[in-house]
Chains A and B, each alone.
Chain A
Amino acid sequence: DGGITQSPKYLFRKEGQNVTLSCEQNLNHDAMYWYRQDPGQGLRLIYYSQIVNDFQKGDIAEGYSVSREKKESFPLTVTSAQKNPTAFYLCASTMAGNSGNTIYFGEGSWLTVV
């Protein structure tokens, strides 16, 4: 079955360490997105990519980095520069272009900095 797989689901990180969250999809989607959600808050866009080897910053990109070397993979690195990284991270994908395609979501990753 096609879908998006995010891993790990739960992750603890020490302050000062970088951590990478994985997002893989086998839906042949062009566009992939990373969002952050804080308790009681909405989803905020970190980075998005519409094509391989290209990505754009979202509203809260500082302290994060991404890569899009393969169409099916869009990993997110939370760097030590991110001041408050404890949050729920969600990956999404859809077909690119101005079309009304269904958005698919991963199950999310809970990151806690200790």
Chain B
Amino acid sequence: DAKTTQPPSMDCAEGRAANLPCNHSTISGNEYVYWYRQIHSQGPQYIIHGLKNNETNEMASLIITEDRKSSTLILPHATLRDTAVYYCIVRVPSSNTGKLIFGQGTTLQVKP
């Protein structure tokens, strides 16, 4: 699985968009980008995933650069409840090991 690099922490004002970057320069052609988050004292929660096209769901948008070496998770209108650690993970969906490799993640602090 490709290695990812994320900033350790970020701040965002409540109601503004939170843009969380992730570098994955060694990503291979069949690896997807997944985002999870972990709110304090809870288990990780799936947010969104993508291969090369931009994706949007009810939680967030995922922008993947054309060369696929980096991506950005966008929370369009951050709330205090979005304060969490956000993990960017890249891997092949059909891999038979089935395991997730979590890195350090980005601690997002949404401030009033």
Do these two chains interact?
A: no
B interface, CB within 8 angstroms of A: none
Q: Which A residues fall within an 8 A CB radius of B?
A: none
